[in-house]
């Protein structure tokens, strides 16, 4: 079992370049299944979630050429083998495989996949996706062990769809499907995260007309024959946020390049309020050593443009270094505070009130010990905690971290961190 070993207490210094966003790359690669034409992607992150998705594509007969050292991937879905897909176990590896439903249903009129992988962070229900497709006119033939939809209508049953939650992958999946229908539809209460936006922009350049990109209301005029092209994966704001916190808590001085500030305003607000010292440069963020850090009354996660749930756990580590009582209110997921138990093992003073709320009493000196990653973002938070802990920290279950953070320990090491991957 691999793990990361960290000797804490070293201030980080230098420059870091942010790679492409996992949560944009996954739906965008899936959208390539809408067309038999070639789709080339640039700035694709070299992370295990992407490799798994591309393996799945290859297994179902889609031609994939990947050069992740150069960050490029080309996909050409001339054929899609529905039979192979039906029983493909790899699909269960992660939840993002649900994003194949939209394009394959649109292209083939049917899609059956094994239930996408579960996740420790919460219930992650499928109903937003399934309810959406059935409202549009698909038939749901799913069984407990698989998701199975068919669609053979000439026209959408309902061209107007109100999502019950502004789900990120739900919005993407349904928009991908609607982009390939020869009619106009509207979707309300959509997610508006930057990665949703990037997917919609890709659909637009493939030939769909989409109004309202970046808002919670989309009007999509699709067309059956969509074209391929070259698409660029936008930079990952969640990585930028994580590296910013790494700089702040280690009293470091780092410049983070390839940053889209618009994605991070809701992160900058609480960062400013705790007293972090940073400046927005052109396409970059400079983090200086902070003055005294003070507690935050409340950090509440929300859909975009609110504070991202994916940055909640990294921010939780920062709050252990802030003087006074801070409160976290995780509104989206039921299980995204578990990492706080790991921080407690390191000496952080924390009161977990319920599955969604916790108080953090700072400032605590963290002590190195063995801690585990509970999910991707919580895993990154564990690494952050190790960077400031006294002594040695061992972070286990790092496969979670490799799913979404490209070369995380290697990049931190270039900034001076004493961290190594032990195989």
Q: Does 310 help bind ligand EPU (rule: CB under 6 A)?
A: yes
Which of 31, 91, 191, 296 is the binder for ligand EPU (CB under 6 A)? 191
- Residue ranges in 270-299 that form contacts with ligand EPU under rule CB under 6 A: none
231-270 binders of ligand EPU (CB under 6 A): none
From the list 44, 156, 168, 389, which residue makes contact with ligand EPU (rule: CB under 6 A)? 168
Residue that the structure tokens 């971290």 belong to: 401
Per CB under 6 A, the segment of 165-173, 201-209, 220-228, 279-287 that binds ligand EPU is 165-173
The interface region with ligand EPU, picked from 58-66, 160-168, 251-259, 389-397 by CB under 6 A, is 160-168
Query: Token pair of 103, please?
Result: 């394009």
Query: In the annotation, is 119 catalytic?
Result: yes
CB of 125 to ligand EPU, least distance (A): 6
Q: Which of 45, 170, 234, 379 binds ligand EPU (CB under 6 A)?
A: 170
Q: Which is nearer to ligand EPU, 255 or 402 (CB)?
A: 402
Here the tokens at position 389 are: 């802990």
**Token pair 């790359």 in the structure block, residue:** 25
CA separation for the pair 234, 262 (Å, rounded): 12
Stretch that binds ligand EPU, among 18-26, 29-37, 103-111, 148-156 (CB under 6 A): 18-26
Residue 102's nearest CA partner among 51, 167, 45 is 167
Supply the angle between the helices 101-108 and 127-136 in degrees, to the nearest 10.
Answer: 20
* Binder among 34, 56, 96, 296 for ligand EPU (CB under 6 A): 96
Q: Taking the complex as a whole, how short is the minimal distance between the CB of residue 9 and ligand EPU, in angstroms?
A: 28
Helices 376-388, 312-319: axis angle to 10 degrees equals 20
Q: H-type helices in 138-279, by residue range?
A: 168-179, 194-206, 237-249, 265-273
d(CA 47, CA 307): 24
55: nearest Cα among 70, 66, 44, 67 = 66
Near ligand EPU in 34-53, by CB under 6 A: none
H or E, element range at 15: strand 13-17
The H-or-E segment that residue 137 falls in is none
Nearer CB in complex with ligand EPU: 376/412: 376
Of the residues 85, 147, 166, 381, which one makes contact with ligand EPU according to CB under 6 A: 166
Site for ligand EPU in 324-383 (CB under 6 A): 332-333, 376-377
**C-beta closer to ligand EPU: residue 151 or 333:** 333
The answer to whether 6 and 412 are in contact (CB under 8 A) is: no
**What is the rounded distance in angstroms from the CA atom of residue 102 to the CA atom of residue 250?**
43
Residue 91 engages ligand EPU in binding (rule: CB under 6 A): no
Stretch that binds ligand EPU, among 102-110, 142-150, 168-176, 343-351 (CB under 6 A): 168-176
The catalytically annotated residue of 30, 119, 190, 322 is 119
Quick one: tokens of 398? 């790092």
List the one residue out of 204, 186, 185 whose CA is nearest residue 196.
Answer: 204
Tell me whether residue 86 is exposed, middle or buried, using C-beta atoms within 10 angstroms of its C-beta: 0 to 12, 13 to 18, 19 or more: middle
Residue closer to ligand EPU by CB (options 168, 259) is 168
Residue 318's closest CA among 369, 279, 267?
267
**Among 37, 46, 55, 165, which residue sits at the site for ligand EPU (rule: CB under 6 A)?**
165
Name which position in 109, 117, 122, 137 contacts ligand EPU (CB under 6 A).
122
C-alpha gyration radius of the chain? 21
Instruction: Verify binding: residue 124, ligand EPU, rule CB under 6 A.
Output: yes
Q: Which residues are catalytic?
A: 119
Kindly list the residues in this chain that would bind ligand EPU in the complex (CB under 6 A). 22-23, 26, 95-96, 122-125, 128, 165-170, 191, 303, 309-310, 332-333, 376-377, 404
């Amino acid at each position: 079992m691999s793990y990361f070993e960290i000797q804490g207490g070293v201030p980080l210094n230098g420059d870091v370049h942010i790679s492409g966003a996992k949560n944009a790359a996954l739906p965008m690669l899936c959208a390539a299944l809408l067309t038999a034409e070639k789709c080339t992607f640039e700035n694709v992150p070299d992370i295990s979630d992407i490799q798994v998705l591309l393996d799945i594509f290859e297994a179902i007969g889609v031609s994939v050429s990947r050069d992740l050292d150069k960050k490029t991937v080309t996909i050409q879905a001339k054929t899609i083998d529905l039979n192979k897909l039906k029983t493909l176990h790899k699909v269960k590896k992660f939840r993002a495989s649900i994003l194949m439903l939209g394009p394959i249903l649109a292209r083939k009129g049917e899609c059956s996949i094994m239930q996408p992988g579960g996740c420790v962070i919460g219930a992650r229900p499928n109903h937003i996706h399934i309810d959406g497709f059935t409202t549009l006119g698909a038939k749901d033939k799913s069984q407990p062990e698989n998701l199975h939809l068919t669609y053979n209508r000439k026209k959408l049953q309902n061209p107007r769809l109100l999502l019950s939650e502004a789900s990120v992958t739900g919005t993407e999946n349904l928009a991908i499907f609607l982009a390939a229908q020869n009619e106009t539809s509207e979707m309300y209460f959509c997610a508006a995260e930057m990665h949703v936006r990037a997917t919609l922009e890709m659909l637009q350049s493939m030939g769909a007309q989409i109004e309202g990109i970046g808002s919670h209301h989309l009007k999509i005029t699709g067309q059956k024959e969509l074209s391929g092209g070259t698409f660029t994966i936008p930079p990952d704001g969640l990585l930028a946020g994580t590296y910013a916190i790494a700089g702040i808590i280690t009293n470091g001085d780092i410049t983070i390049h390839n940053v889209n500030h618009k994605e991070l305003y809701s992160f900058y607000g609480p960062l400013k309020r705790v007293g972090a010292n940073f400046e927005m440069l052109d396409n970059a963020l400079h983090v200086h050593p902070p003055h005294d850090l003070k507690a935050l009354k409340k950090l509440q996660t929300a859909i975009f443009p609110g504070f991202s749930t994916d940055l909640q756990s990294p921010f939780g580590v920062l709050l252990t270094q802030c003087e006074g009582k801070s409160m976290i209110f995780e509104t989206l997921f039921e299980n995204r505070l578990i990492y706080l138990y790991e921080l407690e093992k390191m000496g952080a003073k924390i009161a977990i009130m319920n599955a969604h709320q916790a108080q953090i009493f700072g400032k605590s000196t963290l002590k190195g010990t063995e801690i585990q990653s509970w999910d991707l973002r919580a895993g990154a938070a564990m690494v952050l905690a190790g960077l400031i802990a006294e002594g040695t920290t061992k972070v286990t279950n790092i496969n979670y971290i490799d799913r979404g953070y490209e070369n995380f320990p290697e990049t931190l090491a270039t900034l001076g961190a004493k961290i190594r991957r032990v195989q």
